[in-house]
Chain A
Amino acid sequence: MLAYIGKRILQFIPVFIGITLILFFFRAVIPGDPIKLLAGEKAMPDAIYEQIVKANHLDEPLYVQYGYYMNDLLHGDLGTSYQRKTPVIDIFAEKFPYTARLALCAILIEILIGISAGIVSAVKRYSFVDALVTVSTSILISVPVFWLGMLLQMFFGVFLKDATGGAFSLPISGAGGPISSYPTWMHYILPAVALASVSLAYTARVMRSQLLEVLNADYIRTARAKGLSRGAVIVKHALKNAMIPVITFIGIDFGVMMSSAILTETIFNWPGVGYEIFRAIGQRDWPIVMGGVILVVILIMLINLIIDVSYALFDPRIRYGKKAGDE
């Protein structure tokens, strides 16, 4: 097992280097001088401009800059934002909890609704419920998230408020705070639902197809033949085996939500990681863009590793680090 974990971590290295190279490629080809953007409308005195450029090694050739960046990175230093003048690590230390909490809420919705919808539609195959799940997951996959977010805002924030005479509504933006009139947890509801929508549909689909496949297996027929009830077979035998791809999907999805919730974060005015990187691209604030993407990629790789390792712990059939013929 340790050998397997070591091997996986070694495999991180080429991916990691590839990501930094792509980031530097973008930095080289995206037009716009980040230091000139600092001054805004006013022209910056040449002397100060030179000084900032020198301090950030921006006058050096690109491969030298890459060397400096990688050297800092290996020492755990992600650099300092041009615009905010604060260390990148501090900026993301503030942003990550917001995104992580939102993503966890969304994952919770995804697990509760997605998995149960998938199970019901597989168990009651060809029934009305199955058709309903199939159609509604197709619709959810096809809805643009930002549009769904606006519909939620319109219904729960405006329509419901008017209909109940202001008695009930949900907050439509922001992550709460002292000036908000709602309890903080309420701020999570609408963005979490919007963020969960598409993944929920995929989870239900993966769950359904996996469970259908497992239900056709011989050991299910054996379990039924020896007199176990249908419910017991599904819970004890089928679900256990059908869950692995579903868990993989949800794990990957958590990683995606950490970086790519930009649309949800934009609509709901959420101070998260994705939105911060998006804004930094607009301002050519490269330390934030590179630091953010690198942090997110490391996080995704770690989640994938943890999931794969946990399979081996829970499922005795999975043995990593051995070839098929070893057993």
Chain B
Amino acid sequence: MAPNKQNRTLWGDAWRRLRKNKLAVCGFCWIAFMVLVALSADLWAPQLLGSPTFVDTTMTATMSKMPPSLQHPFGTDSLGRDELVRVIYGARVSLSVGVLAMSISLIIGLVLGTTAAYFGGVWDSIIMRATDIFMAFPYILFAIALLAALGPSFVNMFIAIGIIGWTAIARVIRSIILQVKESDYVSAARALGASDFRIIMRHVLPNSLAPVIVYATMSIGTAIISEAALSFLGLGIQPPTPSWGLMIAEAQQYLVVAPWLVLCPGLAILLTVLSFTLLGDGLRDAMDVKVTD
């Protein structure tokens, strides 16, 4: 404990602990780097490396499956496009699907989890039975069926992944709120005549925030893996849009002659998901949250 430090808040403490966790900092830096690269890609990537989607048919024969070189650091794919620029644009798809899917799960999970825990009774029974049913349904088959119903596209992809993720978040939020609900400050607020809505927004949710942040961070990583898997199966992002999972699927048949086409997008998935996992672990330890896997 450093007595000379001022303004010691819950979040200040957590931040200080997080910064000491080297792995979490590495994860955070990699995520920041990827976000920066993905956001600024239009300004420099196509100029340096060529278009991520356009296929120059006159050059395809000579440019196809070139091994990594100075000019093409990750080599070129079977249609002669630079692999690095496709990995960079793939980051856009992965990161945005990750964040958007997480947001959808979070909104559904927050609303249903809060309703179940705060109002209890019949609401609780109905919502919890619904999570039982959804959790009993095989996860990946649910995603596949949902995408078959909606049709394969970028928007449907994050909707489908988001819809599947709500059960876990709803359960986490429900269990936290059940604890917070019994606390003295909530009773005090009720005694002072605060409305349900005000108590939830002003007292219950802010005190449930730490586990939600941890869970959300980790679920971005899970969503990115799900996106890659669904695109790999041909149900997600459609060509020519570069998506890491789709790029691996396209490169599968050249596994022996052009292994870098499988390695590069795979490493991109691994590093990005790993960063979210490490950051999530770091946040959990820093905010002293108990998350059961």
Contact = CB atoms under 8 A, between A and B. Distances in A.
13 contacts: A19-B136, A26-B146, A31-B149, A139-B270, A142-B269, A143-B273, A144-B266, A153-B255, A260-B139, A262-B141, A274-B141, A278-B141, A281-B145
B34 to A, nearest CB: 14
B37 to A, nearest CB: 19
Nearest to B271: A142
Interface of B: 23, 129-130, 132-133, 136-142, 144-146, 148-149, 151, 221, 225, 228-229, 232-233, 245, 248, 252, 255-256, 259, 262, 266, 269-270, 273-274, 276-278, 281, 293
B273 A142 contact: yes
A147 B252 CA distance: 9
Interface stretch (A61-69, A92-100, A225-233, A293-301): A293-301
Contact of A263 (B232, B262, B276): B232
Contacts of B129: 14-15, 18
Range of interface residues on chain A?
A: 35 or more
SS class, residues of chain A in contact with chain B:
helix
Nearest to A145: B229
Contacts of B228: 144
Given A144-B270, A262-B233, A150 B252 contact: yes
A326 B101 CA distance: 46
Interface in A15-44: 15, 18-19, 22, 26, 29-31
A262 B136 contact: no
B259 A147 contact: no
A116 interface: no
Interface in A207-257: 249, 256
Contacts of A274: 138, 140-141
Contact of A300 (B136, B245, B248): B136
A138 interface: yes
B132 A262 contact: no
A139 B140 contact: no
A296 B138 contact: yes
Contacts of B141: 259-260, 262, 274, 277-278, 281, 293
B140 A15 contact: no
Interface in A130-160: 135, 138-139, 141-147, 150-151, 153-154, 158
A278 B144 contact: yes
